[in-house]
Copies of this chain bind each other. A is one copy, B any other.
């Protein structure tokens, strides 16, 4: 096992609807990108490039429109399930890091966003690249937020240890590590929103390259004890 490195992508300016985000990231990170890197991109810039913005005055109705189901409501806090099956505050609708009269919505299909970014980045770099679109979510039971993967392309979201034995010959009780979420959290450490860093490159991460999606991470309602 060698080390993992997490490197910020700097020099990306404000993104606006219609911007070619893959080309902008490539321009900012061309010297850094190597084969089998994972590029973690903040949801906010993906949403901006895709025009997923709404007037700030529509905040409340937009949250409800983006919610497939409201799970909990307390004061101004709404925890809802989005059409994607993501459980988060305000269905991912967010006022921060957008112009004052705007709010940002989650991408319509964050896995598709990730696949498109990956296809362009692989063509531009001629290298194998994984892409994660990440957002900052709260959790049950634990205070604070962490970044998770809402879009994945080019890597499997899980490191799967099913059937493996430990060094004592016992079955491993932990079977599926969600490496995509751990990578998203890793990248968040250097993607502080107030510093304008909207992407990070993770090198050396022990993930499996290949077909994968963030949709695989959504726990189906039928398997979920807490929905």
Contact, CB under 8 Å: B226 / A176: no
Contact, CB under 8 Å: B144 / A181: yes
Contact, CB under 8 Å: A225 / B170: no
Contact, CB under 8 Å: B193 / A166: yes
Contact, CB under 8 Å: B96 / A190: no
Contact, CB under 8 Å: B177 / A4: no
Interface string of A137-150 (1 = CB under 8 A from B): 00111111111100
* Selected interface stretch from A15-23, A97-105, A107-115: A97-105
Give the number of copies in the complex: 2
* Known A-B contacts A97-B166, A145-B174, A218-B143; A185 and B181 likewise in contact (beta carbons under 8 Å): yes
Q: Which residue of B lies closest to A144 (CB)?
A: B178
A219 at the interface (CB under 8 A from B): yes
Give the contacting residue for A87; candidates B5, B141, B176, B192; CB below 8 A. Answer: B141
Contact, CB under 8 Å: A227 / B140: yes
Contact, CB under 8 Å: A225 / B192: no
Contacts of A194 in B (CB 8 A): 161, 164-167, 172
